[in-house]
Structure formats: structure tokens, C-alpha cells
Amino acid sequence: MKLELRGITKRFGSLVANDHISLTVEPGQIHCLLGENGAGKSTLMNVLYGLYTADEGQILLDDRVQSFSGPGDAMAAGIGMVHQHFMLIPVFTVAENVMLGHEKTGFGGRLDLDAARAHVRSVSERFGFEIDPDAVVGDLPVGVQQRVEIIKALSRDAQILVFDEPTAVLTPQETDELMAIMRQLRDEGTAIVFITHKLREVREVADKITVIRLGKVVGEADPTASNEELAALMVGRAVELRVKKDAPVLRSGGLVVKDLRVVDADGHIVVNDVSFEVRPGEVLAIAGVQGNGQTELTEAIIGLHPKASGSIVLDGRELLGRSVQQIIDAGVGFVPEDRKEDGLVGEFSVAENLILNRSTNGAPFFRAGTLQQGVLDEFARSQISEFDIRTQGPSTAAGRLSGGNQQKVVLARELSRELKLFVASQPTRGIDVGSIEFVHERIVATRDSGVPVIVVSTELDEVSALADRIAVMYRGGIVGIVPGDAPREVLGLMMAGEKPGATQKEAVA
């Protein structure tokens, strides 16, 4: 089935999320929709899937204009969508999830689960999925859950499949397997729309590439285009994609974490006897699929987890048991993974956000507990200039800035102090390629100034580019610590919980 979008425009108040976007996806083609987060890719696909109604434009299937009042209409027309955040019921079985919303009944109105099981087995055999129809979805690894999403879409006879950022929670091996599935579907005649911002994936699987920036189509490209060419289309200027850094110059001291254990509110162990060291002058990257204890580890370091035991020593001083403010005052800078929820106060000004980590009795911003507005404004202007924060001025509300500029505010706040440790969790999540370039430069500069740096990232390219050593977490523990130039294949195996012999002992820097 051929898909054509003509002049799709979608507005949210004064914001134009999609601005007269047109594209065509042919049967048996993988059409990649490339652009940074916030470019309008997912909004466009939500229009296609019936979740939003376009303000202008048309959707055509095999040259016939369509009108969708909801996802049910889109599915009935042959459109399926594999969402970034899975639309599955964890306590249901695979078969129950697949039949949900399209239930078939047998004698006496009873649900025909046998038919759903047979369908799951049929699709599983076709793609080599090896999925048990009676397995409870919540017990399955994320890579297998994604396959359940694919089976759901195919069970509705989808001839057009949309994959929305499908690799965000996958290991490298699972990503490779997904690419193989997409190619198989393409070869069988399925039209595929693949939404991503990862250049490596685009060049591996796309037959055609459309680039969206700020809600508009800014160009089309062939898969033979270089990463630099694609990045320039996405950002609108040339971008340095390679992280430039010299060999680390290690110093004495730093952070020593020993036998750290964190228990969540439900009594589950989420960080299990983790030990590692980070020396001044190096970057230790912590890799792993999201949800394997990385978040809780960083929160324990900054003092956000009351149920943490073990030892966290920075330059000979124990941090465990201290308050968040005491840890910040000890020289720990922290970039949380969710800047909007945990890194900024959106209603506060840029200037106010730049001193959120300062004690109210500390000079030069406070005198006798009173804010010195002139000193703050001067400081804010200097940080806006140094970190290239695109804002109308220090008094602009931080919530009005773009994602990349919000991240720069967080970085400016944390790096404008004298630090003894810098922890950055998902430092480039949701920001454009140009801002990623800037963030990486600042992280390397912090490392080169003699500060121990911890970077937590689910992006393997970022991990490999920044790290002097890499610790891989799986189910709350560290599988191993390897040099920063460890092959992706090795890291991928470790992210799946495997412990190759070379990773049994910590690599010595």
C-alpha cells in the first residue's frame, strides 16, 4: 500500500508543530523520518495514526483520501504503529495483549484465546521470534516486548508500519535484530516509516530519508549521505560529530564507591553491591539499557536515596548519609536525567535557575539572607554568554527555552562552581546535534581540568566517544568495567548480562 501525506499542518495554539509537510512512502520501502526531538516527527505520525487531526492537508492511501477519527480507523485502513513507549498491559499474557481491542469470541461469547495463541505462534515462526503466547508481558525483556508490539500491528493486517524511535530501550544486539525484521517486512512489501534521530541507524536501514527541522521538511537524502551531511541538514549548519580529547592525565584522590546497595520504596534491591573508582582527570561512563539501576546509582551519590548502604567516599570524605545540600556543598555537580522535572524550575527565570544549588547564606549572591539581584544578573549574563544559552535575557522563564538551551542552563549552574566530582545522567537526551557537540566539549573540558567525571548514558556512541573507562550495569549490578575503546559487540553482550572473560576484572587505566 502506498502512503502519501500532502501539506500536513498541525498547530497547538501559536505553536506550529507540522508546517505543510509532504512525503510519500512506497510499498516495500523503509522511509526514514530523521530529525531531532521536538522537530515534529512524532506529531506527524500521530496525525497519520488518528491520534491527532490535521488542521490542514490530506492523508492518501493508494491515492484515495482518508479521514481518521481515531487509531481504530487508521488500523482498519491498514496502518500499524510500534510506539517508543510500549502500549502493552504488563499483567496480561502475550496472546491477551495481541487480541486486546480486537477480541474474537467463541461458543457462549467466551474469548477465543486459542485463536490469539495460534496467531502469535504463526507470526513468531515467520520472523523467528520464539515468543510464548502464554508468557506474561511484564516478565519479558524489553526487546521481546517490542516484538509483541510488532505482532500486535501485524495481527491487524498492517500494510504500513510506523516505528517511532524503536531502539531507545534496546541493546545493540536487539537493535540489529530489529533492523533485520524491518528489512524482512520491507522485502514482503510492507511500507515502513522509521522515526529516529540516530544517524547510524538511518544509514544502516533506510531506502529513503526525509529530514524535518522545526516542523518543516528541510531536505531529502540517500542512505549514502555521510553523517556530517545528515547532521548539517538536521541542525542547519556544519557540526563536529567526533569528540576531540587527549589521553587522560590521572591524579590522586577522586571517588571511591564500595559495596553500594540501594533499596526502593517497595523493598526491591535496585543497586546491588556496586563498587568502582573514578580518578580525577578521567571519565567513567556507565552504560546499560535504561532501568538497570543507573538512575538509582546516581541519585544515591547525590544523596536522594535514604535506603542506601555501603560507602561513597570523595577525596577521603564519606558522602553517604549526608543531605543533598551538604553533598552539593562538598563539590558535587549533578545533571539529572530529566531536566524538566529534576533539573529546573520552569517558572523561575534563567538567572534564578543558575543559583538553585547555592546556599541562601552564601556570598556573593546572598547577603544576610537577601538576594543581591545586581550580582545575580551580572553572573547570569556571563553564563549566558559562556554557555551560548539562546534566551532573551536573564529574566526569561527557563520553561520557555528549547530543550538544548534548558540543558545548557543546568550545565552552566553545575559547572560554574569549583567541583570535586561531576555526575551527568543522560546529558544529551532530547537535544539537537549542535547542542550535543557543545555538551560533549564541556564534559571533556571538565575532565581535563582534573575533575572526576561520571557520565550515565544509554547511547553507546556517546559512551564510546566520551569514556576513558566504561562500567556496564545489568539488573542493578556492574557486569564489568572495560576500556573506553571496547568494541560495541562486547558492550552489547554485557548490556544483556553476559560476562565475557575479558570483563571479569576491572581494566586498569
CA distance 233 to 238: 9
Output the pLDDT for position 259: 97
Output the pLDDT for position 360: 62
Output the pLDDT for position 504: 40
CATH architecture of 3-235: 3-Layer(aba) Sandwich (3.40)
Residues 267-322: pLDDT tens digits? 899 999 999 999 999 999 999 987 899 999 999 999 998 889 999 999 999 999 99
Q: Identify the residue whose cell numbers are 549548519.
A: 237
The per-type count for the chain, helices as H runs and strands as E runs, is 16, 22
Minimal CA–CA distance to 402: which of 446, 350, 445, 362?
Answer: 350
Dig out the grid coordinates for 213 from the structure: 527541522
Rg of the chain over all Cα atoms, to the nearest angstrom: 25
Residue 259: C-alpha distances to residues 252, 262, 271, 277, 452 (Å): 21, 10, 10, 12, 20
Question: Which residues of the chain are under the pLDDT cut of 70?
Answer: 37-38, 84-85, 106-109, 168-169, 241, 359-362, 430, 432, 500-509
Output the pLDDT for position 156: 76
CATH architecture of 255-331+418-501: 3-Layer(aba) Sandwich (3.40)
Output the pLDDT for position 265: 84
Q: Identify the residue whose cell numbers are 461458543.
A: 107
DSSP secondary-structure letter at 492? H
Q: Is the pTM of this model over 0.75?
A: no
Q: Where in the chain is the domain with CATH 3.40.50.300?
A: 3-235, 255-331+418-501
| Cβ contact 227:34 at 8 Å | no
Residues 184-235: pLDDT tens digits? 999 999 999 998 878 888 888 999 999 998 899 999 998 888 888 888 888 7
Output the pLDDT for position 423: 97
Output the pLDDT for position 261: 96
Q: Give the end-to-end CA distance of the chain in Å, rounded to a whole number.
A: 55
| Cβ contact 456:298 at 8 Å | yes
Residue 494: C-alpha distances to residues 192, 300, 502, 504 (Å): 31, 23, 11, 11
What is the chain's percent helix, strand, coil content, to nearest 5? 35, 25, 40
